[in-house]
Amino acid sequence: MAGRSEHAEQAVFVGRMRNFHPDVLVAAVPNGGLRDKRVAAKLKAEGVLPGFPDLVVMEPRGEYHGAVVEMKSLTGRVSTDQARVLGRLRRKGYHVVVARGADEAFAEVERYLALETLDAFRALG
């Protein structure tokens, strides 16, 4: 739907994932938002990393350890910090998705989940 915020798109995506893939571990990373200086300093000390993607999908597939999803509104853009972190994650073996809207995010994660599970992880049961 045109005009939905990034927050609304992410909420729709997460709702779909919980409905269609309840066993898949998907978690949000609350990096954004307005905060006062004390809270921002506390979160930074706890490990908040500028540019880290909005969502992590903790399911190994194919050659990947897991997937990360950077949600954007239909007109949103990737920041310099985001591009840098996404590149690092890609090089470390994560599947990286930048999705413009819930529909694109869901389709990309569905394709990711369709990849074969690594034999090493399959053996763990």
- Domain count of the chain? 1
Summarised one tens digit per residue, pLDDT across range 45-67 is 988 898 999 999 999 999 999 99
pLDDT, the chain, mean = 90
Summarised one tens digit per residue, pLDDT across range 111-121 is 999 998 755 55
Q: Is residue 26 part of a domain?
A: yes
Domain of residue 43 covers 6-124
74 bridge partner residues: none
Comparing C-alpha atoms, which of 91, 57, 90, 88 is closest to residue 71? 57
Q: Is residue 1 part of a domain?
A: no
Name the residue type at position 57: V
Find the CATH number of the domain harbouring 35: 3.40.1350.10
pTM: 0.86
In the chain, at which residue ranges do the beta strands (DSSP E only) sit?
A: 26-28, 55-57, 67-72, 95-100
Comparing C-alpha atoms, which of 57, 71, 64, 59 is closest to residue 95? 64
Q: Is residue 66 part of a domain?
A: yes
Summarised one tens digit per residue, pLDDT across range 14-25 is 999 999 999 999
Parallel, antiparallel or unpaired: strands 26-28 and 67-72:
unpaired
Q: Is there a contact between 9 and 70 (Cβ–Cβ < 8 Å)?
A: no
